[in-house]
């Protein structure tokens, strides 16, 4: 009498097939990479080779839109950061101001904050001479958690613990090189969640 196949041999037919390469999941010229759809042309520019990993390592998620704004005191730093982010492939929507002519920071801070609150931009950066006035302005917009940061650690912790969605900088206090590091840290640090999610929820209830 022939032996029946072992349980292991039976189960092997139900093994989950290996994941298909990303190139098999194209849709309308876009390819799934990490969590977002990326234009295939952009992937090819980055050295995409049809698998989860290109020559330089795992594919990055598509870079999101950043709202950026300043008054006259923050104009030069705003322009510097726009160029810095553009070189990294990050798109900014500039809400002004457009010169060093004296102006009122609440106008521009409010415009950038609304873009973030309404979901038109993922995060925001606002700049005035000290960063104080424009951060207060941004925080008046419902749904905004704007943190004024003058060092890298503060930028990291406000993302980890506060889930801050806007960053304020003081152009008269923070130089361009330090500002670059602060912005990089702010944009590349995720929210830790857990107990911090509860605290952020309690914080946002105060907006009632």
Q: What is the pTM of this model?
A: 0.71
Residues in the chain: 208
pLDDT tens track for 59-102: 344 447 999 999 999 999 999 999 999 999 999 999 999 999 99
121-173 pLDDT per residue, tens: 999 999 999 999 999 999 999 999 999 999 999 999 999 999 999 999 999 99
Could you give all domains of the chain from N- to C-terminal order, each with its CATH number? 18-58 (no CATH), 65-205 (3.40.1400.10)
- Cα separation, 4 vs 113, whole angstroms: 68
- Higher-confidence residue of 153 and 30: namely 153
Strands (DSSP E) contained in 29-156 are 30-33, 36-39, 53-54, 57-58, 65-70, 91-94, 123-128, 146-148
Which pLDDT score, from 0 to 100, does residue 3 have? 52
Is 86 strand, coil or helix?
A: helix
Helix (H) or strand (E) run with residue 10 in it: helix 7-11
| Residue 46 CA: distances (Å) to CA of 54, 58, 71 | 8, 11, 36
164 with 147: CB under 8 angstroms? Answer: yes
Task: Report the C-alpha gap between 163 and 158 in whole angstroms.
Answer: 6
Return the active site residues: 128, 161
């Amino acid at each position: 009498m022939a032996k029946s196949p072992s349980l292991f041999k039976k189960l092997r037919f139900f093994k989950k097939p290996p994941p298909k390469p990303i190139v098999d999941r194209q849709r309308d010229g876009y390819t799934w990479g990490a969590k977002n759809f990326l234009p295939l042309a952009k992937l090819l520019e980055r050295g995409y080779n049809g698998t989860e990993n290109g020559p330089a390592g795992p594919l990055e998620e598509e870079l999101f839109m950043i709202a950026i704004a300043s008054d006259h005191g923050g104009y030069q730093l705003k322009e510097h950061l726009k160029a810095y982010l553009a070189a990294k492939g990050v798109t900014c929507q500039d809400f002004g101001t457009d010169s060093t002519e004296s102006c009122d920071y609440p106008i521009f801070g409010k415009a950038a904050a609304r873009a973030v609150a309404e979901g038109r931009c993922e995060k925001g950066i606002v700049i005035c001479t000290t960063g104080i006035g424009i951060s207060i302005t941004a925080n008046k917009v419902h749904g905004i958690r704007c943190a004024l940061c003058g060092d890298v650690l503060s930028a990291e912790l406000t993302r980890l613990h506060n889930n801050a969605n806007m960053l304020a900088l003081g152009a008269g206090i923070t130089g361009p090189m330090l500002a670059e590091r602060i912005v990089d840290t702010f944009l590349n640090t995720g929210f830790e969640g857990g107990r911090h999610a509860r605290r952020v929820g309690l914080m946002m209830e105060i907006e009632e």
